[in-house]
């Protein structure tokens, strides 16, 4: 069996009538998220995200209570801006989502991770001891990428 990227399976699943509605909803929510990020001030936008949209009711997830309070003050203007952008939003609910930033992965630095010398040494030993397999190919590929970074 050949390995395929997840996009292949998602694309296939998207074509099934049972899942088209779900994928359309996800696309609409993703599009709304992009518009929401443009509308929001950058200092607040990075601490909140859309949580759901159903029957005109939009849920915004905030990282903490302070951000939620600021969003509540902005609700009337947010509602008008989203409506002006063409979204049929009739109500906005603010929810505090505990550890939401951790889930989105925003707490990790943007720099690429490096494997230290001991780690590279251990991976070389591992690769040398493996028979030809997808695991050996993956370990060797990782080692090549690390060498290019040095």
The residue written with tokens 């002006």 in the block is 84
Three state DSSP letters for 45-94? HCCEEEEEEECCEEEEEECCHHHHHHHHHHHHHHHHHHHHCCCCCCEEEE
Verify that 48 and 100 share a domain, yes or no.
yes
Collapsing DSSP to helix, strand or coil, 25 comes out as: helix
Q: Find tokens 């609700």 and name the residue.
A: 75
Q: Are residues 10 and 53 in the same domain?
A: yes
In a shared domain, residues 85 and 130: no
Number of compact structural domains in the chain: 2
Each residue's pLDDT tens digit, 67-116: 999 999 999 999 999 999 999 999 999 999 876 455 555 555 556 677 88
Q: What are phi and psi of 53, to 5 degrees?
A: -145, 120
> Is position 110 within any domain?
no
Residue 98's domain comprises 6-104
Whether residues 143 and 96 share a domain: the answer is: no
Task: Read off the pLDDT of each residue in 109-133 and give the average, rounded to a whole number.
Answer: 83
Contact 65, 99 (CB under 8 A): no
Three-state DSSP class for 110? coil
Same domain, 92 and 121: no
pTM confidence score: 0.59
Say whether both 63 and 131 belong to one domain.
no
* Cα pseudo-dihedral 130, 136, 139, 144, rounded to 10: 110
Verify that 122 and 61 share a domain, yes or no.
Answer: no
Q: Are both 74 and 139 inside the same structural domain? A: no
Paired tokens of 111: 């720099």
- Mean pLDDT, the chain, rounded, equals 85
Same domain (yes/no): 62, 18: yes
Is 143 found in the same domain as 71?
Answer: no
Residue 1: inside a domain = no
Same-domain status, 97 and 121: no
Query: Same structural domain for residues 138 and 90?
Result: no
By the 8 A CB rule, do 67 and 47 touch?
A: yes
């Amino acid at each position: 069996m050949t390995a395929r990227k997840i996009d292949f399976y998602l694309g296939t699943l998207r074509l099934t009538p049972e899942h088209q509605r779900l994928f359309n909803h996800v696309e609409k929510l993703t599009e709304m998220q992009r518009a929401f990020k443009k509308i929001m001030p950058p200092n607040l936008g990075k601490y909140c995200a859309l949580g759901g949209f159903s029957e005109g009711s939009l849920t915004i997830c905030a990282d903490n209570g302070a951000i939620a309070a600021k969003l509540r003050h902005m609700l009337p203007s947010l509602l008008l801006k989203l409506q002006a952008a063409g979204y049929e939003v009739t109500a906005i609910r603010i929810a505090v989502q505990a550890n939401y930033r951790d889930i989105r992965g925003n707490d990790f630095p943007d720099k690429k991770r490096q494997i230290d010398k001991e780690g590279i040494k251990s991976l070389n030993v591992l690769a040398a001891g493996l028979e030809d397999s997808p695991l050996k190919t993956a370990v060797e590929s990782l080692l090549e990428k690390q060498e290019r970074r040095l």
